[in-house]
Structure 1
C-alpha cells in the first residue's frame, strides 16, 4: 500500500510571534514536550516497522518542530529506511541545518523542507543564508511567505535572490480578500498564487484524503485530513485500514494547501508531481523564470 501521512502531534510552541498566528510565542510545559517526544517516537517506530508499505510523511506541527531534537532525529531515521519514499516538514528554518548531513547522501534525497519566511521575525540575510545552506546540502525545499501587503517588498527581494530552481510560493492571508490588482502583484512572484487566492468548493467532490492520504495525531487517531474531525480508526491497532477508501469531501470549501492539493478535481497532483508534500512543482511555472 502507498500511504501519505500528515502527522501533527501535541507540539504547539514556536520561537516566533507572528501576529497572524494563534500559536505565536506559545510555550509548552516540560510535561507537554515529553508527551510530544514520546508520541513522535512511537509514530517513528510504527513507520519504521511498516516495511510492506510505501510511506510518505509530512510533519505539520502547530509549533516549530526543528528546534526540537526529536523532530530532527525522526527525519534522519525515517529518511534512511528503504520503504520511506519522502519525509518532509513545515518549518521556519530558524534552527541549524548541519544535522541534515547525518541522513547520508541517500537519506538527504528523501528529506524535504517546506520553509516559510516570516518578515519581522528573523533577519532577511539570516533566512537567505539558511536557504543557501539547504541548497549546499542537497536538500529539496520550497520557500514561501504569507501574502500580506507588508510582506510584498521582502517577497520580491527574496524571489530575486533565490536560485530560479527554488520555488517561492505565496499563501493567501486568512480572511483577506484580494483585488485583481493585488492578486496580480502576488502572482508575479508565484504564478500558482491563483490556487491559494480563493477557497475551493469541495462539498461532494472526490478527494484522495481518506484513501491514500490520512491525518494522524499524537494518540494515533486517524482522520481523513486535518480539517475533517470524523475518525477513521487508530494507527497503532490497524483499525484505520478497514476504513480506507474513495470518498467525497463533507465540507463546503477547502482553503488550505495541505487540504485542497489532494482534491481530485484540481490538477495539483500533476502540477506538483514528485513534490506534493514539500510543495515543489514538477516544473517551474512560466513566470518564475522572469523573476518578479
Structure 2
C-alpha cells in the first residue's frame, strides 16, 4: 500500500506573529510541548512499524514546527527508513538548518512561506540557498494579500528561475476582492495562482483523501483530510487499515491546495508528480498551467 499521511499534532504556536494568523499569539506551556513531543514520537514509531507499506509524511502544523528539535529529529529519523518515500513540512524557514546534513536530503521537501512583515528578504533567501546547497527540494511562497504584492515581485526577481514561487490566494479577509488586474499580477508570479484562487466543486467527487491520503492528529485520529471533521478511525487500532477506502468528497467546495490537489478530476498529480507534498511542479510552469486549466 502507498499511503500519504498529513500529520498535525497539538502544536499550535509560532515564533512569528502575523496579524491574520492566530497561532503566533499562542504560547505553549512546557507540559503542552512535552505532550506534542510524545505524540510525535508515537507517530514516528507507527511509521517505522509500517514496513509493509510505502509511506510519505507531510507535517502541516498549526504553527511553526521546525524551531523545535523533536520535529527536526523526526525528519532525520524517518528519512533513513527504506519504506519512507517522501517527507515534507510547512515552515517559515526561520530554523537553523544544521540538522539537515544528517537526513537523506533527497527524501526531504520544504514548503517555505515568506512573511515579509517578520523577516528580511535577504535572510529568507539565504536559507533557500542553503537548502539548494544541501540538495533539498523546496518551493517558496507568499500569502496573497495585496499589500505583499510588491515584495512578492521582488522575491521572484531574487529567486533562481527554477524555484517555484506560489501565491496563496486570500479567499476570506481581503479588504477588497481581487480585481482582474490583481489576478493577472499574481499570475505573472505564479502561473498556478488561478487554480489556487478557485473554490473547486468537490461534493460527491472522487478524492484520494480517506483512501491513500489521510490526515492524522496527535491522538492518532484519522480523517480523510484536514477539512472534513468526521473521523474514519484511529491509526493506533489494529483494524485501522480497513478504514482506508474510496470516499466521495462531502464538502461543497475545496479551496486549499493541500486538499484540492488530491481531487482526482483536477489531475494535479500530473502537474506536481513527486513534488506534490512540497508544492513543487514536476513540469515547466507554462505546461503545468495549461494542464491544470
After superposition, where does 1:1-292 map in structure 2 within 5 Å? 1-103=1-103, 107-175=104-172, 176=174, 177-286=177-286
3-state SS, counterpart of residue 169 of structure 1: strand
Which is worse superposed, 188-197 or 278-287?
Answer: 278-287
Which is worse superposed, 89-98 or 279-288?
Answer: 279-288
Q: Is the 8 A contact 1:168 1:189 kept in 2?
A: yes
Measure the CA separation in 1 of the matches of 2:83 and 2:39.
21
Measure the CA separation in 2 of the matches of 1:146 and 1:166.
17
Q: 1:65: how far off?
A: 0.3
Which is worse superposed, 152-161 or 5-14?
Answer: 152-161
Q: 1:287: how far off?
A: 9.1
Runs of 4+ in 1 over 3 A off after TM superposition: none
Q: Is the 8 A contact 1:167 1:284 kept in 2?
A: no
Measure the CA separation in 1 of the matches of 2:284 and 2:161.
8
Measure the CA separation in 2 of the matches of 1:42 and 1:136.
32
Q: TM-score, with normalisation over the residues of structure 2?
A: 0.95
Q: Is the 8 A contact 2:171 2:197 kept in 1?
A: no
Measure the CA separation in 2 of the matches of 1:241 and 1:109.
28
Q: TM-score, with normalisation over the residues of structure 1?
A: 0.95
Stretches of structure 1 lacking an aligned partner (at least 5 in a row)? none
Measure the CA separation in 2 of the matches of 1:6 and 1:206.
19
Q: Is the 8 A contact 1:148 1:173 kept in 2?
A: yes
Measure the CA separation in 2 of the matches of 1:109 and 1:152.
32
Stretches of structure 2 lacking an aligned partner (at least 5 in a row)? 289-293
What is the number of residues matched between the two proteins? 285
Q: 1:174: how far off?
A: 3.5
Change (3 A) 1:137 1:260: same
Q: 1:232: how far off?
A: 1.0
Which is worse superposed, 87-96 or 168-177?
Answer: 168-177
Q: Is the 8 A contact 1:8 1:216 kept in 2?
A: yes
Q: 1:283: how far off?
A: 1.5
Measure the CA separation in 2 of the matches of 1:40 and 1:130.
25
3-state SS, counterpart of residue 122 of structure 1: coil
